Amino acid sequence: MEKLTIKDVELKGKKVIMRVDFNVPIKDGKITDETRIKAALNTIKYALDKGAKVILLSHLGRPKGEKDPQFSLKPVAERLGELLNTNVYFVDETRGSKVEEAVSELKEGEVLVLENTRFEKGETKNDLELAKYWASLADLHVNDAFGTAHRAHASNVGIANFIPSVAGFLMEKEIEFLQKAVENPEKPYVVILGGAKVSDKIGVINNLLNKADKILIGGAMMFTFLKALGKNVGSSLVEEDKLNVAKEILENSKAKGVEIVLPVDTVIAQKIEAGVEKKTVKIDDGISEGWMGLDIGAETISLFKEKISDAKTIVWNGPMGVFEIDDFAFGTKEVAHVIAEVTKKGCISIIGGGDSAAAAEKFGLASEFSHVSTGGGASLEFLEGKELPGISSISEKKNLNERKFILAANWKMNKTNTEAAEFVSKLVGQIKTEDKFEVIVCPPYTALEKVRDITSSSNIKVGAQNVYYEDKGAYTGEISVNMLKDIGVEYVILGHSERRHIFKESDGLINKKLKKVIVSGLTPILCVGEQLEEREKGLTFNVVERQIKEALYGLTEEEARTIVIAYEPVWAIGTGKVATPNQAQEVHEFIRDLLKDIFNEEFAENTAILYGGSIKPNNYLGLFGKPDIDGGLVGGASLTEDFVELANIMKEIIE
Ligand SMILES: Nc1ncnc2c1ncn2[C@@H]1O[C@H](COP(=O)(O)OP(=O)(O)O)[C@@H](O)[C@H]1O
Ligand SMILES: O=C(OP(=O)(O)O)[C@H](O)COP(=O)(O)O
């Protein structure tokens, strides 16, 4: 599954709330490394050039949910204006009238920075009320904050519950490079780990043991491994509680045929300070008490160079020594140079880590790498194979050969024949699906034939909103399947919540209707969904499971194969309340797993599961961007030209 990016959506005139990671080091009010600001410029400029009204959100440092001047984004906003060479508005608030006024005055092509998101208590708690507020300021969310992707916060994750969230260019690039390193790295694949803590990197090492050919370990973390091997490491930085873990990793690496390369010499000193006495000792000779290893030695640099020389993929996380002090920067510098050299020969080299990136910048080598990640923790967790919440919350592109996608209109008891003919004639002229998805219009019975006549020259199909299961007879007011087939109807909605709760249709009756529709060669759209009090009692899955099992009772896999399912939470139908994309996805996933249990994996994967309930153009991308939502059963919005906009949204994101 690929993520939707800013390039896949319309921006002109839209209010775009963009989450960036401007968490830059600031000393005495001065930004000491602006890598992260520069990394976001492409996306910001693109949005502005397309005529969007851009509202930037970011955190800075770790204020504890209250205003703290030392963490104000004001200096960042000023620097951004210089880098963009344009006026950047700044509001020293995170919500309220000043924010709303500034947003309302924003013109196309202008940018506004709001104050530090972490001045809000709800930010780090992923408070949905706060997320909903920020979402209310805009039409679209662009997530370009890769460095924050391992955090599930309101401004990068919660917000995606309320408006569509797409990836910015930085996010897209980070995912592309790190995915390559995790999923299908070209070999030989060499991982170089350093930095201060084994505990930070254990997950990476264990995950990469399944992929890497060699893992080179420097930095402070080498001493935990060396001590685990019985070496005397003096007063070097060791994580005593990780000695067994280190032993396990060394054992695992042998079992997996991965070569773990440890330093053979180290530069030692008695203090971490510039200008102190230092010397190089062989690891096998041991380090005296009071001395600590602060860099890898010359022999180790040669050894690492030889191990790196034929690499086709390199991931580097963590400096080889205390690179901030020149006395102990040589190992990091030399390793960076070697990586730059092999990169020139076609190796894919990725730096994943804030300090490693800073080291590359320090030696003027950052541009020599294939990719320098802007996220330390985020790239680490990505390399560990973890799912990052700030990535999974971004809407996904849909792939044509995945399964059938459908946009269905349930007009309910609306539109006379004349109104129906007039409206559907417009739809025929405006809806172009490019064969990417099915469009079905379900008018009242009285308009079925007329609508079928008008749509027969298009690829819009027609469906009924109900049917009876008998072929004919004394069933006043009912319609038979044959009557529908006779006028070219192909789909039938069954079990809609209004049929169930207003007209008291039972699961048993729905089962009979479903069988009749299927045996007659029409396609059923089976509606299921819980009522508010059932959801509040935590019975959603129980209700949906019962409705599906009862409806499918007695049907073989072959007979049920054509079925379409529509999950319509009753509390969201016609109420203006819409299930959040995550709420809907959760139930869709449950339904797909239930179909797997009832029939099999293939059946479940091939069944279209539509969402229904207050779908509107401003929430549809977020819903349809979820992996198990295959389209919509649209009520109110299908009676207006919003329906055309919904079709256009689907066209944009199905590739
Ligand atoms: N031998 C060492 N002894 C003590 N600290 C070290 C040593 N080698 C590296 N470090 C420290 O490790 C820190 C960076 O580690 P880490 O945060 O894991 O890197 P990254 O941010 O790239 O993931 C640096 O501040 C560096 O000074
Ligand atoms: O600097 C960051 O992470 P990193 O130090 O792991 O690169 C991100 O901006 C996240 O900040 P946080 O770790 O305070 O949540």
Element (H, E) at 407: strand 406-410
Number of the ligand 1 atom closest to the C-alpha atom of 317: 22
Lowest-confidence region among 90-104, 322-336, 433-447, 611-625:
611-625
CATH code of domain 403-652: 3.20.20.70
Instruction: Quote the pTM value.
Output: 0.79
Ligand with minimal distance to 220 CA: 1
User: Is the Cβ–Cβ distance between 550 and 584 less than 8 Å?
Assistant: no
Select from 23, 36, 116 the residue to mutate for testing ligand 2; criterion: most ligand atoms less than 8 Å from CB: 23
Higher pLDDT, 201 or 95: 95
Q: Which atom of ligand 2 is nearest to the CA of 62?
A: 14
**Residue 645, pLDDT above cutoff 60:** yes
Nearest to 177 by CA among 395, 6, 369, 25: 369
Residue 324 annotated as binding?
yes
Ligand that lies nearest to the alpha carbon of residue 151, given by its number in the listed order: 2
Evaluate whether 239 touches 226 at the Cβ level (below 8 Å): no
Q: Is the pLDDT of residue 574 over 80?
A: no
CA of 362 to the centre of ligand 1 (A): 15
Query: 275 a known binding residue?
Result: no
Ligand 2 atom with minimal separation from the 151 CA: 15
Ligand 1 mean position to 91 CA, how many Å? 36
Residue range 100-135, pLDDT digits in tens: 999 999 999 999 999 999 999 999 999 999 999 999
Is 509 annotated as contributing to ligand binding?
no
Q: Output the six-digit token pair for 156.
A: 């990068």
From ligand 1's centre to the CA of 224, what distance in Å? 14
User: In the structure, which protein residues have their CB atom closer than 6 angstroms to any atom of ligand 2?
Assistant: 21, 23, 62, 147-148, 151, 354, 375-377
Quote the mean pLDDT of the chain: 94
The pLDDT, as a whole number, for residue 581 is: 86
**ipTM greater than 0.85:** yes
pLDDT tens for 494-529 read 999 999 999 999 999 999 999 999 999 999 999 999
Burial class from Cβ neighbours inside 10 Å (0-12, 13-18, 19+) for residue 576 reads exposed
Question: What percentage of the chain exceeds 70 in pLDDT?
Answer: 100
Q: What is the position in ligand 1's atom list of the atom closest to the CA of 201? A: 18
Q: Residue 627 above 70 pLDDT?
A: yes
CA angle, 520 then 522 then 523, to 5°: 135
Q: What percent of the chain has pLDDT over 90?
A: 81
* Element (DSSP H or E) covering residue 81: helix 74-84
Q: What is the best residue among 355, 373, 381 to mutate for testing ligand 1's pocket, by most ligand atoms within 8 Å of CB?
A: 355
> Which sequence spans correspond to the domains of the chain?
13-166, 177-391, 403-652
What DSSP state is assigned to residue 350?
E
Q: CA-CA distance, 405 to 390, in Å (whole number)?
A: 26
- Ligand 1: residues within 6 Å at CB? 194-197, 200, 219-220, 237, 293-294, 317-319, 321-322, 324, 353-356, 376
For ligand 1, atom 18, the nearest C-alpha belongs to 195
Cis peptide before 188 (omega within 30 of 0): yes
For residue 32, what pLDDT is reported? 85
Shared fold status for 13-166 and 403-652: no
Instruction: Please give the C-alpha separations between residue 452 and each of 367, 413, 431, 434, 456, in angstroms, as whole numbers.
Output: 61, 17, 16, 20, 6
Cα dist. 59→119, 323, 382, 612 in Å?
A: 8, 27, 21, 35
Nearest alpha carbon, ligand 2 atom 4:
376
More confident residue, 621 or 603: 603
The answer to whether 349 and 314 are in contact (CB under 8 A) is: yes
Choose which residue among 199, 273, 322, 330 to substitute to test ligand 1 binding: the one with the highest number of ligand atoms within 8 A of its C-beta.
322
Say whether pLDDT at 83 is over 80.
Answer: yes
Using DSSP's 3-state secondary structure scheme, residue 361 falls into: helix
Is the pLDDT assigned to residue 577 strictly greater than 80?
no
73 is in an annotated binding site: no
At 343 the three-state DSSP class reads: helix
**Of all protein residues, whose CA lies closest to atom 26 belonging to ligand 1?**
322
In angstroms, the CA 517 to CA 559 distance is: 10
Whose alpha carbon is nearest atom 4 of ligand 1? Answer: 220
Question: Regarding beta strands 438-442 and 111-114, do their DSSP bridges make them parallel or antiparallel, or are they unpaired?
Answer: unpaired
Q: In the structure, what pLDDT confidence band is assigned to residue 48 with cuts at 50, 70 and 90? A: very high
Q: Where are the alpha helices (DSSP H) in 456-580?
A: 481-486, 497-501, 507-519, 532-536, 540-552, 557-560
133, two tokens = 């507020």
What is the number of the ligand 1 atom nearest to the C-alpha of 236?
3
Instruction: Label residue 1 by pLDDT band (50, 70, 90).
Output: low
At 397 the three-state DSSP class reads coil
**Residue 568 appears among annotated catalytic residues:** yes
Yes or no: say if 259 and 212 are a contact pair by the CB < 8 Å rule. no
Q: Is 109 annotated as a binding residue?
A: no
How many angstroms separate the CA atoms of 227 and 428, rounded? Answer: 74
The one catalytic residue in 141, 150, 153, 496 is 496
**Could you say which of 3.40.50.2020, 3.40.50.620, 3.40.50.720, 3.40.50.1260 is the CATH number of the domain covering 177-391?**
3.40.50.1260
Of 183, 191, 192, 186, which is closest to residue 212 (Cα–Cα)?
191
Q: Is 574 annotated as a binding residue?
A: yes
26-27 and 30-31 strand pairing: antiparallel
206 assigned binding-site residue: no
61 CA → ligand 2 middle, Å: 8
Residue 371 among the catalytic residues: no
Ligand at shortest distance from the CA of 217: 1
- In the Cβ-directed half-sphere of 343, how many Cα atoms lie within 13 Å? 21
CA of 612 to the centre of ligand 1 (A): 51
Please give the CATH number for the structural domain made up of 13-166. 3.40.50.1260
What does the pLDDT read at residue 618? 81
Tell me the ligand closest to 33's alpha carbon: 2
Q: Is 536 helix (H, G, I), strand (E, B) or coil?
A: helix
